[in-house]
């Protein structure tokens, strides 16, 4: 049995429904147009429709999508026009029985999507007679709802898609913006790097380092490359500490720098400061530093930023300029050359220190032409004024010498050299030099004077080169050598030298080259007339300013006359010498004879005396009792004479020996010597009353044993000649004499002598008393005198009869010798 | 005393000899004195020559020598004595009139034992000679080779 139609339809409908239900899945993600088209196609195809129109509306109000399939409902657009106007009322499906426009009868149906067709609408037409069945209507509704859902989905997807797209786009934009930013950052960074490099380079070139530090902690927070170099730190070592930095500062500048910084910090100001640093390699560097404070919002100083500039070169340059200025000034002072500038029109004068000094004005004086003229010597003013006026008018260089008369009356010779600059009339300016040539003038005058002296000298004064070429020849030379200057100058001096003495000249030159002067060199030179003359030469090297010998000055004196006199003297001397030799020989012979005589006396004269005495004694012994008193008296006379004779011989021999004896000269302490003499004599004065007074006695120079003899004689004389006094007083003391002698005297209160005979006192055998009164040989004082004279001394006596005598002996002081 | 007090007096002046002997006689020394009148005779005695060829052996205890002598003077005699191995030890006393320094110096240089200046005063002279004789011939112990008492 065939299934009932209804069931078949139901089946078909279900199938179609399933098919339709599958549609939305296919539509997911589709475009609204594709959805609409798909729906239309499904409706036409699946439901066998002849016309389908699908309109899908975007709930967001976007444009609706419309799709038409088939043309069975030709009048649909008009219809739609009509109905759509009342779209708002189009709220339910509408079946239109006669759609018109087609071949046959065609029924149409319009189904809204959503309430009031907000989602659009589906309109279909079909020629099938049963159209629209309920199933058709159901299917159409489902399809339309699906389509609406799909459309909504599609819209959502679309929106999502758009949103994603928009996101992507904006992402893209962002990325681009970031890239651009990065590029800009890179560019900016490069720019910064460049500028930093420039800065570093600039710091390097200007020797300027930059530095920053935190005030509270004294921590360095910025330290440029140049700072490392400036202060001699290794960049690898990192930023130096505050202390390390301070350590570089020259010890003498440390306090100054520290105080300056502390003051700036306390006053919250910047500062500027110069100090020196010592680098690790001991080099010195001058630093100029400038720093500014950095404040925090509270207005407190937190940091300082600053720069440090190496001003060593500048300092050096400044020093060099200062030095060069002082050199210039010193040079002007030393050369006595002042400089000046003179603007004629403005009468403005610019003077250097030395110019002020030359004119004797204070350096603060404002100089005018009048002041310049005031100092010029009155005699020179007219000439100077004339030259200056002409120069001022013509603008021409000028050169002028005049004298200054200074307030003290001293005169200076000034040489002015002025050079005109500028030139357009009315604005003439001179710059020039004023030289104090006083010294030069004086030396010129002195030279002239010297030249006159040389010319008028009667000595020959000759100048020559070291090669012996004559360069100058004075009048004296003309007279002595007979050549005129013109005959000699430029020729060799050899023409004056006798041929046998030609080798003298090179020897002289050799000594002169060594800087030696040759004085009083006596030799022989030949005159023009061939006559040889004796000359005494004084030859000196002539030296240039550097001390180099460049020539020779020679002064020759004609000593022919003197030579002759000398020769005469020499002859006389020789004769004299001969005579002296002869006389000496005679004297020697005489002396020898005398010596032999003395010797003989010594031996032979004493023997007979001794024999006389000896045999007389023997005779006396043998004749005892035989001879009478007279004879015995005679015998004792003989004995007495013999003894006296013996004493005489002995004294005489002693006296003569003084002249011949060798002397030993030394320092003699007279006090010691005289006390010893007195001590020796004292035993012989038994029974006498003698008061001795011996003062402080000096030391002298002499032969002690001889001087002993002197004082032994004087003291024994004093003892002897006071014999008649109840109390003898003998005084020995010293007194002042000539500067180089000492004087000792021996004074007694004895019998004295008549001053009439004072010159006889010291003669040999001279006696002032009888032998009976005072025994003696008369040789003692002669011996005294002889010894004292041999010492270069003096002896003298004072006295009067019965009033004592004083004997004075003057002897040389120690150090003065001559015995 | 095992030695002869022999004294050789060398003196040319007979007066001096006499005075000297007078002095020595006071101490009984005169008999021991041999007198030589000059230097030559003195040397003859010392060397057993001439008149003294036969004299007994031995040297004198002392020689009293004058300087100024005929023929050979005192210095020459002295030089001879001091240069001779057998004689050089004999004491020699110069007995002279002179006190010239150069005589003194030369005498001592030649090695004398004493130097005596004859005093002019007789008593002093006699005393001097006496003392000389006593010292050299009696007190002094003479060197080996001196004449021995037999």
Report the CATH number at residue A157: 3.30.450.40
* pLDDT, mean of residues B131-146: 78
Which pairs with CB-CB distance under 8 Å and at least 24 residues apart come from A332-336? A333/A357, A335/A435, A336/A435, A336/A436, A336/A437, A336/A438, A336/A439
- For residues A468 and A351, membership in a common domain is answered with no
Confirm if A437 and A415 have CB atoms less than 8 A apart: yes
Instruction: Decide if A647 contacts A640 (C-beta within 8 A).
Output: no
A41 and A126 both lie in a single domain: yes
- A728 lies in some domain: yes
Final residue before a domain boundary, out of A642, A660, A678: A660
Q: What whole-number distance in Å separates Cα of residue A110 and Cα of residue A75? A: 13
Total domains in chain B come to 1
The answer as to whether B75 is a domain residue is yes
Instruction: Please report which confidence band the pLDDT of residue A693 belongs to, taking 50, 70 and 90 as the band edges.
Output: very high
pLDDT of A54: 82
The pLDDT confidence band at residue A86, using thresholds 50, 70 and 90, is: low
Distance, in Å, from the CA atom of A528 to the CA atom of A590, rounded to the nearest integer, reads 59
Regarding whether A11 and A156 lie in a shared domain, the answer is yes
Give the CA dihedral A774, A780, A785, A791, nearest 10 degrees: -140
User: Which residues does A95 contact at the CB level (< 8 Å), separation at least 6?
Assistant: A107, A108, A109, A132
Phi-psi label, residue A205: left if phi above 0, alpha if psi -120 to 50, beta otherwise: alpha
pLDDT in tens, B6-37: 889 999 888 888 888 888 887 777 677 889 98
Q: What confidence tier does B1 reach under pLDDT thresholds 50, 70, 90?
A: very low
Domain check: are A475 and A362 in the same one? no
Give the residue from B25, B98, B104, B118 with the most A CB atoms within 10 Å of its CB, the best one to mutate. Answer: B98
Least confident of A6-10, A217-221, A224-228, A649-653: A6-10
* Between residues B56 and B110, the one the model is more confident about: B110
Determine the distance in angstroms separating the CA of B119 from the nearest CA of chain A, rounded to an integer: 7
Which of the four pLDDT bands, split at 50, 70 and 90, describes residue A50? confident
In a domain, B60, yes or no: yes
Residue A257 sits in the same domain as residue A136: no
Residue predicted with more confidence, A354 or A65 = A354
Confidence at A59, pLDDT banded by 50, 70, 90: low
Number of domains forming the structure of chain A? 6
Q: Looking at A267, A291, A310, which one is the last position of a domain?
A: A310
Q: What is the pLDDT of residues A100-138, one digit of tens each?
A: 655 667 788 888 877 777 777 888 888 877 788 877 787
> Is pLDDT of A512 > 50?
yes
Residue from A416, A366, A354 nearest A391 by CA? A416
Is the residue at B2 inside a domain?
A: no
What per-residue confidence (pLDDT) applies to A814? 83
The whole-number pLDDT of residue A568 equals 92
User: Would residue A182 count as lying in a domain?
Assistant: no
CATH number of the domain encompassing residue B65: 3.40.50.2300
> So what's the pLDDT on residue A136?
79
- Contact criterion met (CB < 8 Å) for B120 and A646: yes
pLDDT of residue A746: 94
| Residue whose token pair is 């900016």 | A188
Range of the domain at B127: 7-139
Residues of B in contact with A615 (CB under 8 A): 15, 19
Are A481 and A592 within one domain?
Answer: no
Q: What is the mean pLDDT of residues A460-465?
A: 90
Cβ distance B68 to A615 less than 8 Å, yes or no, reads no
Q: What are phi and psi of A507, to 5 degrees?
A: -65, -40
A623 with A719, same domain: the answer is no
| A610 vs B22, B100, B118: nearest CB | B118
- For A403-426, how does the pLDDT look when each residue is reduced to its tens digit (9 = 90+)? 999 888 889 999 999 888 865 555
Is residue A188, in this structure, part of any structural domain at all? no
Asked, for residue B147, whether it belongs to a domain, the answer is no
- Residue identified by tokens 């530095």 is A211
Interface touch B100/A614, C-beta < 8 Å: no
| Cross-chain CB nearest to A602 (options B22, B98, B122) | B98
Q: At what angle do helices B39-46 and B74-82 cross, to 10 degrees?
A: 20
φ, ψ for residue A818, nearest 5 deg: 165, 95
Look at strands B33-36 and A805-812 and give their pairing: unpaired
Assess contact for B39 and B69: CB atoms under 8 A: yes
- Average pLDDT score over chain A: 84
Residues of chain A with pLDDT > 70, as a percent, come to 93
CATH number at residue A391: 3.30.450.20
Asked if residues A742 and A811 have their Cβ atoms less than 8 Å apart, the reply is yes
Cα-based angle A417, A418, A420 (whole degrees, multiple of 5): 155
pLDDT tens string A153-172: 766 777 777 788 888 888 89
Residues pairing with B65 in the sheet: B10, B94
Mean pLDDT of the A564-574 span: 91
For residue B17, give Cα distances in angstroms to A370, A565, B8, B121.
127, 70, 11, 16
Give the gap in angstroms from C-alpha A595 to the nearest C-alpha of chain B: 11
ipTM: 0.76
Per DSSP, what are the bridge partners of residue A147? none
Q: Which residues of A touch B67 (CB under 8 A)?
A: 603
Average pLDDT over residues A437-461: 87
Nearest to A614 among B19, B97, B98 (CB): B19
Contact flag B96-A603 (C-beta cutoff 8 Å) = yes
**In which domain, by residue range, is A303 found?**
207-310
Residue A668 and residue A717 share a domain: yes
The verdict on A672 and A627 lying in the same domain is: no
Q: Sorting pLDDT into bands at 50, 70 and 90, what band is A773? A: confident
Phi and psi angles of residue A125, each rounded to the nearest 5 degrees, phi first: -140, 150
Question: Which pLDDT belongs to residue A819?
Answer: 47
One domain for residues A75 and A147: yes
Please indicate, yes or no, if residue A679 is contained in any of the structural domains.
yes
Q: Cα–Cα distances in Å, from A654 out to A778, B35, B98?
A: 13, 32, 12
Task: Indicate left, alpha or beta for A49 from its phi (over 0: left) and psi (-120 to 50: alpha).
Answer: beta
**B61 in a structural domain:** yes
In A227-369, where do the E strands start and end? 271-278, 284-295, 301-310, 337-343, 348-351
Q: Confirm whether B63 is domain-assigned.
A: yes
Tokens of A384: 């100077």
User: A177 lies in a domain?
Assistant: no
- Whether A124 maps to a domain, the answer reads yes
Examine the domain organization and report whether A569 and A547 are in the same domain.
Answer: no
The residue from A493, A524, A556 where one domain ends is A556
- The number of C-beta contacts closer than 8 angstroms across A and B is 64
The answer to whether residues A269 and A399 belong to one domain is no
Query: Whole-angstrom Cα distance, residue A12 to residue A138?
Result: 13
> Count of CB atoms within 10 A of residue A449's CB?
10
- Which is more confidently placed, A197 or A86? A197
């Amino acid at each position: 049995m065939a299934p009932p139609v209804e069931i078949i339809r139901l089946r078909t409908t279900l199938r179609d429904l399933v098919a339709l239900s599958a549609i939305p899945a296919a539509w997911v993600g589709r475009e609204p147009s594709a959805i609409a088209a798909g729906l239309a196609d499904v409706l036409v195809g699946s439901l066998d429709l002849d016309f389908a129109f699908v309109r899908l509306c975007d709930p967001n109000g976007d444009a609706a999508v419309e799709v038409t399939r088939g043309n069975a409902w030709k009048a649909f657009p008009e219809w739609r026009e009509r109905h759509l106007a009342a779209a708002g009322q189009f709220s339910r499906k509408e079946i239109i029985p006669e759609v018109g426009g087609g071949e046959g009868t065609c029924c149409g149906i319009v189904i809204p999507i959503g309430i009031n067709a907000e989602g659009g609408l589906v309109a279909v037409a079909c020629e099938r007679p049963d159209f629209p069945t309920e199933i058709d209507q159901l299917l159409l509704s489902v399809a339309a709802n699906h389509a609406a859902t799909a459309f909504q989905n599609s819209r959502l997807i679309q929106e999502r898609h758009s949103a994603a797209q928009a996101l992507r786009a904006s992402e893209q934009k962002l990325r681009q913006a970031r890239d651009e930013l990065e590029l800009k950052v890179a560019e900016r960074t490069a720019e910064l790097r460049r500028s930093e490099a420039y800065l570093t380079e600039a710091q390097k070139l200007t020797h300027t380092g930059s530095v920053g530090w935190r005030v509270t902690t004294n921590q360095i927070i910025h330290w440029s490359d140049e700072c490392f170099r400036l202060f001699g730190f290794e960049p690898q070592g990192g930023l130096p500490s505050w202390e390390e930095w301070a350590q570089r500062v020259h010890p003498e500048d440390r306090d100054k720098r520290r105080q300056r910084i502390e003051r700036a910090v306390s006053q919250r100001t910047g500062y500027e400061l110069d100090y020196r640093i010592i680098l690790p390699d001991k080099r010195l560097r001058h630093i100029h530093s400038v720093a500014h404070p950095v404040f925090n919002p509270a207005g407190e100083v937190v940091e300082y930023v600053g720069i440090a500039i190496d001003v060593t070169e500048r300092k050096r340059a400044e020093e060099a300029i200062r030095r060069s200025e002082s050199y210039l000034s010193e040079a002007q002072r030393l050369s006595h050359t002042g400089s000046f500038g003179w603007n004629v029109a403005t009468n403005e004068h610019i003077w250097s220190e030395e110019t002020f000094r030359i004119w004797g004005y204070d350096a603060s004086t404002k100089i005018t032409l009048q002041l310049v003229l005031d100092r010029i010597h009155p005699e020179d003013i007219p000439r100077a004024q004339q030259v200056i006026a002409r120069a001022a008018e013509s603008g021409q260089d000028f050169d002028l010498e005049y004298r200054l008369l200074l307030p003290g009356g001293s005169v200076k010779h000034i040489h002015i050299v002025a050079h005109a600059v500028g030139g357009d009339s009315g604005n003439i300016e001179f710059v020039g030099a004023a030289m104090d040539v006083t010294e030069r003038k004086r030396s010129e005058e002195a030279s002239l004077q010297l030249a006159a002296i040389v010319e008028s000298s009667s000595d020959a004064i000759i100048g020559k080169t070291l090669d012996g070429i004559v360069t100058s020849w004075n009048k004296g030379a003309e007279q002595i050598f007979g050549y005129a200057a013109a005959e000699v100058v430029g020729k060799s001096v050899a023409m004056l030298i006798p041929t046998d003495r030609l080798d003298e000249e090179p020897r002289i030159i050799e000594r002169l080259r060594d800087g030696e002067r040759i004085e009083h060199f006596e030799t022989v030179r030949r005159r023009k007339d061939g006559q040889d003359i004796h000359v005494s030469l004084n030859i000196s090297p002539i030296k240039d300013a550097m001390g180099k010998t460049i020539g020779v000055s020679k002064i020759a004196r004609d000593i022919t006359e003197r030579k002759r006199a000398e020769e005469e003297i020499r002859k006389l001397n020789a004769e004299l010498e001969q005579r002296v030799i002869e006389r000496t020989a005679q004297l020697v012979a005489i002396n020898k004879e005398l010596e032999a005589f003395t010797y003989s006396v010594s031996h032979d004269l004493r023997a007979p005396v001794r024999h006389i005495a000896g045999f007389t004694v023997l005779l006396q012994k043998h004749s005892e009792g035989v001879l009478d008193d007279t004879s015995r008296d005679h015998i004792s006379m003989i004995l007495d004479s013999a003894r006296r004779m013996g004493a005489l011989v002995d004294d005489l021999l002693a006296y003569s020996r003084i002249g011949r004896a060798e002397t030993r000269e030394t320092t003699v302490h007279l006090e010691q010597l005289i006390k010893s003499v007195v001590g020796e004599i004292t035993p012989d004065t038994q029974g006498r009353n003698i008061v001795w007074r011996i003062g402080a006695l000096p030391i002298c120079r002499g032969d002690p044993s001889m001087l002993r003899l002197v004082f032994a004689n004087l003291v024994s004389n004093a003892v002897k000649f006071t014999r008649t006094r109840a109390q003898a007083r003998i005084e020995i003391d010293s007194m002042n004499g000539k500067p180089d002698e000492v004087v000792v005297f021996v004074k007694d209160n004895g019998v004295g002598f008549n001053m009439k005979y004072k010159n006889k006192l010291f003669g040999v055998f001279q006696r002032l008393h009888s032998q009976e009164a005072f025994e003696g040989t008369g040789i003692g004082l002669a011996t005294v005198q002889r010894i004292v004279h041999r010492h270069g001394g003096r002896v003298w006596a004072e006295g009067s009869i019965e009033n004592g005598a004083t004997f004075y002996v003057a002897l040389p002081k120690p150090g003065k010798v001559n015995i | 005393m095992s030695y002869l007090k022999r004294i050789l007096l060398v003196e040319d002046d007979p007066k001096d000899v006499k005075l000297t002997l007078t002095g020595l006689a006071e101490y009984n020394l005169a008999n021991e004195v041999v007198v030589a009148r000059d230097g030559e005779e003195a040397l003859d005695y010392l060397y057993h020559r001439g008149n003294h060829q036969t004299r007994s052996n031995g040297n004198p205890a002392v020689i009293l020598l004058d300087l100024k002598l005929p023929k050979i003077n005192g210095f020459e005699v002295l030089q001879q004595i001091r240069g001779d191995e057998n004689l050089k030890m004999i004491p020699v006393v110069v007995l002279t009139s002179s006190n010239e320094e150069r005589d003194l110096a030369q005498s001592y240089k030649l090695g004398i034992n004493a130097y005596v200046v004859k005093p002019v005063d007789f008593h002093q002279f006699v005393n001097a000679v006496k003392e000389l004789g006593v010292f050299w011939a009696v007190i002094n112990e003479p060197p080996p080779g001196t004449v021995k008492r037999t």
